[in-house]
Structure 1
Amino acid sequence: MQTRSGRLMRSSYEDCGSSSDPLVLSGISVVPDQILFPGDLAVQGTVSVKKNFDGPIKVKVSMKYKLFFWIPIPCLDIIPGLPKMGTCTYDDICELFPKLNICPLKKGTYTVEETVKLPSLDDIPIPFDSGTIKIEAKAENEGKQIGCAEVKIDFELTD
């Protein structure tokens, strides 16, 4: 298995929800800048919750890769041990990530970190090269949007 590396060129996030949304992504970071395939990648995010939630939090994720135009990434098993990734709908984020231990969601600010083991690029079921990935996540509770965040990651792959 060949190890390839990638470099995180830039990442950005923005809140794509309304000002009245009670769930707000207020920060995200990805470490390290030099990413190895296979290798470890740590993602840390800070979320502000403006009210208590008892019911399930549904999250709809749209993931796209920019080649010359945006190409949707289907919902696939990409990284072993993690839920499917790509353009997916998760009916209850609390059941999906029970070890985050933040559910039921209560009013407050949460910083969560997850380290994932990235597979070899040969094991990822979609071909990609240097470029941009855009991820938009919309959270719902009882059929109403409660938050939206968009993350863009520009990266460069090397041999």
Structure 2
Amino acid sequence: MDKVLFLALTLSLLAVLTQVNCSSSKLKRVRRAQVLGFDWKNCGKPDDPAVLKTLNLSPDPISIPGDLIASASGSTAVELKSPLSLDVTLEKEVVGIWVKIPCVDELGSCHYRDICDILNQLIPPGQDCPEPLHTYGLPCRCPFKAGSYSLPKSDFYLPNMDLPYWLTNGNYRVQGVLSSQGKELSCVKVALSLNSDN
């Protein structure tokens, strides 16, 4: 995961998602879940300007609900401002074959036209960034200025959540490509296993 703003965006979204609860009839309440074998790597081009240098999550497995300890660092050589598009490819392993999950209700392999708009909806302008981003002076909405970002080891609480029925158990791969005006800025791949009780 050597592409950065994904640091700021990933941390912003992580902090925000711990506070957001979706309410859709297509989602089901997960009483308990575990994320096992979380792994990430960079998938971008050598000249991508946004670089996530480190991302550490513990414990392994991560329990939901439960406590999560996260630290990260990265940098961006350019200001990351609206519009910032994000292309997500989500795959699930089915009998040894990786199957691409289509975009359904904004979940799955989706194209998001502007992550900045989404961040503004989750954390309205003028509102403080959630902790611990606020304490460390890390941004949670666009623009993300050029420079280096670092989140020391920080505690997060992951609450109960609602998940689509197809996203509750299995091995997953996720790739995110961040772009602006057709130019790739960053690319990150994540792999994990999810086990849940209904």
TM-score, length of structure 2 as denominator length: 0.60
1:4–1:117 CA distance, 2 compared to 1 (3 A): closer
Match of 2:36 in 1: 9
2-structure distance, mates of 1:134, 1:66: 8
The answer to whether the Cα contact below 8 Å between 1:24 and 1:149 also exists between their aligned partners in 2 is no
Cα offset, 1:105, TM superposition: 2.2
User: Deviation digits for residues 103-151 of structure 1, max 9, x if unmatched?
Assistant: 112112335798654435xx5231653x321110011111111111101
TM-fit CA distance, 1:158: 6.2
- Separation of aligned partners in 1, 2:67 and 2:119: 17
Label 1:40 to 1:19 Cα distance change in 2 as closer, same or farther (>3 A).
same
Of the three residues 42, 51, 56, the one matched with 2:78 is 51
Q: In the alignment, does 2:99 pair up with 1:71?
A: yes
- AA in 1 matched with 2:99: I
> What is the aligned partner in structure 1 of residue 144 from structure 2?
105
Q: Offset of 1:30 from its aligned partner?
A: 4.1
Structure 1 unaligned residues grouped into runs of 5+? 78-83
- Equivalent runs, 1:1-159 vs 2, <5 Å: 3-6=31-34, 8-30=35-57, 33-36=61-64, 39=65, 46-68=73-95, 69-77=97-105, 84-98=106-120, 99=123, 101-111=140-150, 117-119=159-161, 124-126=164-166, 128-129=168-169, 131-157=170-196
Contact 1:30-1:41 at 8 Å conserved across structures = no
SS in 2 for 1:9: strand
Could you tell me which amino acid in structure 2 is paired with residue 90 of structure 1?
A: Y
C-alpha distance in 1 between matches for 2:112 and 2:30: 33
Give the share of equivalent positions with the same residue, in percent.
22
Determine the C-alpha separation between the residues in 2 that align with 1:10 and 1:40: 17
Q: Matches of 2:180 and 2:30 in 1, distance apart?
A: 43
User: Higher helix fraction: Structure 1 or Structure 2?
Assistant: 2
Higher strand proportion: 1
CA-based RMSD of the aligned residues comes to 3.1
| Deviates most, 16-25 or 92-101 | 92-101
1:73 is aligned with what amino acid? I
Using the alignment, how far apart are the partners of 2:87 and 2:67 within structure 1? Answer: 23
